[in-house]
Chain A
Amino acid sequence: MKTEDTHSFSWIRIRAILLVAMLFGFGLAVAVKAFELQVMDGAKYDSMARDQYVRSFELPAPRGAIFDRNKHELAISHDVPSVFADPRRIHDAGKTALALARVLRMERGRIERRLKSKKAFVWIARRVGRKEADAVKRLKLGGIGLTMEPRRFYPNGDLAAQVLGFAGVDSVGLEGLEKQFDAVLKGGDQVLRGLRDALGRGALLDAPRPIESLQGMGLVLTIDSAIQNTLEHALSEAVRRSGSKAGTGIVMDPRNGDILAMATEPGFDPNKFSKYSASRRRNRSVTDCFEPGSIFKIYTYAAALDLGVVSPGDIINCENSNYKVSNHIIHDSHPHQNLTVVDAFKVSSNIAAAKIGQKLGPKRLYGYLRKFGFGSKTGISLPGETRGILSPAYRWRPINTATISFGQGVSVSGIQIVSATAAVANNGIRMKPRLVKSLLKPDGSVEKTYPPMSEGRVIRSDTAHELAEIMEKVTGPGGTGRRAAIPGFNVAGKTGTAQKVDPVAGGYSRDKRIGSFVGFVPVEKPRVVVLISMDEPKGVAYGGVVAAPVFAKVAKAALTRLGVRPLYRAAKDGSAKRERPDDLADGTIQDLEGPPPIPKVRVESGKLPDFSGLSMRAVARLAGKMGLEIDLYGTGLAVKQEPMPGTVLKKVGVCKVWFKSLAKRRKGA
């Protein structure tokens, strides 16, 4: 080919066409790639795009509040700031982490790791203080933001902590009522879809519903904060004094089953729940079961009296603390010979209880125990309730019948004991424990009420009264629970001291005991049932020693709180005598408000005074003032004391005072 030819116009045209053809080739490549990206892989890129611009905003609804029976706030929610980050927008994770770590007082490495995540959203610190939030705001860090989140707050700290439980960081109830009623408390969180741009600015696609319509329901409890407070303080002091591992207590209104107070000490602060062990956060009255010991005799006697198997005046041979059943020997704490049914109960004879149980037989005893609610959940609205351990009657060997009668070989929860004892106090009708009175709408109106629920009659009404009278003896002179006595009131109750089953060695532990007292007051018209149970006290573990005084303190405060006035008669002869409501009917009775006047007694400092002629109440008050421990016997006015008046106080251990009544009680009272 000649050079001239290659430069001819036609050659130029050919080369130009060649070049443009190449350009069209490039254009075709672009078209093919466009087709591949859009038509073939379009869905993939579409979802990637959506991932970055569609964002779900979770708008947590405010959690409903929890109130006590008088509408005092026990748990509330309010909004507090939380710090989050968009790691994709963080340029210098190290520097940002350092700045945040300083302000939030957190570990730098932890923040840095989160900032280096591939996600579009990570929490840095949730529910921080206002100060910290303001400091973060001032830093003006790119990719770091603040948002408001509701936080659960328990204004009374540890008050009723185990009952309330707590809600976790995402406002989910994790324990207690917070867990049980999570669904109603939490309300409706709304998830809103929104668009977001690369600057993190959002625009909502869905219209948010008004926050009030989403707020959770409020909970009104039967708990009375004042009684709860007293119970907790009394328990905590008792735990400290007795060196117990723990102490639990329940206060219930027997008429409707309302739980007025329920506590386990030591408790915890639900505001800082994560700092406590799970065992500390457990509501032991409901979740744990234990061998009740002598307390259980109440129900054995109840069954026997109800069926007429025994009468209060029947004599039982207590075998001098040596009673053989099968190959086992049953002992009493003190040897007794013949005792009336009443006295056997009063001194808490195991042998008498065993004999009564044997008379009843397994089937009937088991039947009554089930009616009292043992072996099944009480249905209190708390999570993790135990049903206890009560094996069916057909499995009982003779020794089981005997020991179950006095509370061994059976396991029960605190709430079961209270519920069963409340049946005795409530004329034989057992009420279901009620902890929640009503649900409140966000506007404060009542959404739903939970009425008191009867679990049916357990024993006849007259049996209940008969038993209450027997139980009253326990807190009287010579009774095991006399330290549970409350001046001005008649108290019915029963002590219990149970050995704990040793989980390691098997069998009963020598030194691990549970001392309890359950009772109700006033006997005439019971308003409160109180159970106090001390777990593993050091030293003396008798329920009458470690639990009964706590009972007295708590029950007395509860009565005051409920406005129940002391009952006694100012007799013509000046003696104070405890009376029954029936006696009040004749109009000779005078209700006095406040403490009765103390007769003037010459008290020589440092010496024992002369109590003679004083009422039981006056003696108790005087002794209380002096810090003197006294044992009281009989009723009426003081007639005798030991040691003699004038003895140097320091030498006095326990002062015994005998009383004699001048007027006899009316029959049938």
Chain B
Amino acid sequence: MRRDAEERDRYIDGPLLIAVFGLLAIGGVMVFSASAFHAQKATGDTLFYLKRHLLFSAIGLAAMFVVSKIDYHLLGRLAYPLLLMAAVLLAGVLVFGNKAGGATRWFRLGPVSFQPSELAKLAVVIYLSHSLTRKREKMHSFSFGFLPHVVMCGTLILLVLVEPDLGTAALLALLLFSLLFVAGTKISYLLGAALLALPVLYHQIMSTPWRKARMMVFLDPWADRFGIGYQVTESLIAFGSGGATGVGLGDGRQKLFFLPASHTDFIFSILGEELGFIGAALILLLFGILVYRGLKIAMNAADLFGTYLALGITLTIGFQATANMAVALGLLPTKGLALPFMSYGGSSLVSTLIGIGILLSVAARERPEFARRARKPAGVYV
């Protein structure tokens, strides 16, 4: 017995939404704090980035609401069209895209820009969830369970790779492997593929001077403090100088042009500086709640498709958040990954919130036994 329509409409996963709104709120404040000086210098309007960030948050929340009301099974039918669309856009961005910082990752449409790799993440999750559900009985098979997924996703990954956007490519690959693993692909296939991918990765890093430099910086950021190590060391100084309680909201100094990309990829460093360890731990906790609730939704999903969807979205957000924070703290080499919900950037924000919408849609159609059990503690009827 499934929940009736009325119940479905009124069901909302409380802790998940608290985490999402919490991250969005803190993110908005931090975007303003970190970007005000950049904005003033670039446009004369200290609120420039904040206004746009709030606009995208509103668009994202609206999209999330709409998506959460849609039955996620509809996405199964959209799997291939979405995949095709992502591939076309990724190919298109290479030709028509806007070059920025040596990479072509954006379409510029008037005042807004759109990043197709964000769509690719959702497309890969939806495609894999659909395909793995359909082939659940053949997952042990190489040619049915393994090869098609690797080829399909591999194409997208390659397109992302040549943008170049190694961070997103790696994230997509990680997602592919994770879902294949969960779906029951033979470990030997995964290991084999990983072994085959390693030389490619090595070549990718070593043949590109700046990637190689980033690798060196990762190994010892202080060796070239004011050269290529600048961003990482400034990030560490920002984060570290926050101490346990931070220098105070808005009082951070590293955003005064010391730390590049302080309102986008390195917003976590500014947060660490201004709010200290307490603030950083709060962010980790909120992401923890989000991932935990995502896993719960995946476990309680009405069907396997829902499980894969929820898990894929949760892992995408979880991996990306962890990777972003690890970069800020010098645990991973620098790559261009945004911190979900918090970094300034429209495409990322909207696509992440659409993902949350899908998660909510899955949650609203949980299997009845879980729905009953979850009635009291987790679910909230409004």
Contacts and interface: CB of A to CB of B under 8 A. Distances in A.
Contact of A46 (B243, B277, B329): B243
A49 B273 CA distance: 10
Contacts of B307: 12-13, 16
A451 B337 CA distance: 79
Contacts of B37: 197
A236 B37 CA distance: 65
Nearest to A34: B280
Contact of B272 (A3, A34, A197, A198): A34
B239 A37 contact: yes
A85 to B, nearest CB: 14
B291 A23 contact: yes
Nearest to A50: B241
A46 B331 contact: no
A42 B241 contact: yes
Interface in A202-250: none
Interface in A3-56: 3, 6-7, 9, 11-13, 15-17, 19-20, 23-24, 26-27, 29-31, 33-35, 37-39, 41-46, 48-50, 52-53
Given A30-B331, A42-B242, A49 B184 contact: no
A48 B331 contact: no
B304 interface: yes
Interface in B225-246: 226, 236-244
A197 B37 CA distance: 10
Nearest to B257: A198
A199 interface: yes
Contact of A38 (B254, B258, B280): B280
B218 interface: no
A286 B332 CA distance: 72
B352 interface: no
Contacts of B257: 197-199
A500 to B, nearest CB: 61
Contact of B241 (A15, A17, A29, A45): A45
Nearest to B258: A198
Contacts of A39: 243-244, 277
Contacts of B258: 52-53, 197-198
B244 A42 contact: yes
Contact of A30 (B295, B304, B322): B322
- Which of B244, B273, B304, B318 has the most chain A CB atoms inside 10 A of its CB? B318
B140 A41 contact: no
Interface of B is mostly: helix
B331 A49 contact: no
B277 A38 contact: yes
Contacts of B178: 19
Nearest to B307: A12
B238 to A, nearest CB: 7
Contact of A45 (B236, B287, B288): B236
- Which of B292, B326, B330 has the most chain A CB atoms inside 10 A of its CB? B326
A88 interface: yes
A11 B242 CA distance: 44
A17 B295 contact: yes
A97 B257 CA distance: 25
A195 interface: yes
B158 interface: no
Contacts of B73: none
Contacts of B322: 23, 26-27, 30
Contacts of A19: 178, 181-182, 311, 315
B23 interface: no
A35 B184 contact: no
A518 B181 CA distance: 110
Contacts of B240: 37-38, 41-42, 44-46, 48-49
Contacts of B272: 34, 37-38
B276 A12 contact: no
B183 interface: yes
Contacts of B226: 88
Contacts of A38: 239-240, 242-244, 272, 276-277, 280
B9 interface: no
B137 interface: yes
Given A12-B182, A38-B240, A198-B258, 4 more contacts: A15-B184, A20-B295, A29-B331, A34-B280
11 contacts: A15-B184, A17-B295, A23-B291, A27-B322, A33-B329, A34-B239, A43-B243, A49-B237, A52-B237, A197-B253, A199-B257
Interface of A: 3, 6-7, 9, 11-13, 15-17, 19-20, 23-24, 26-27, 29-31, 33-35, 37-39, 41-46, 48-50, 52-53, 88, 195-199
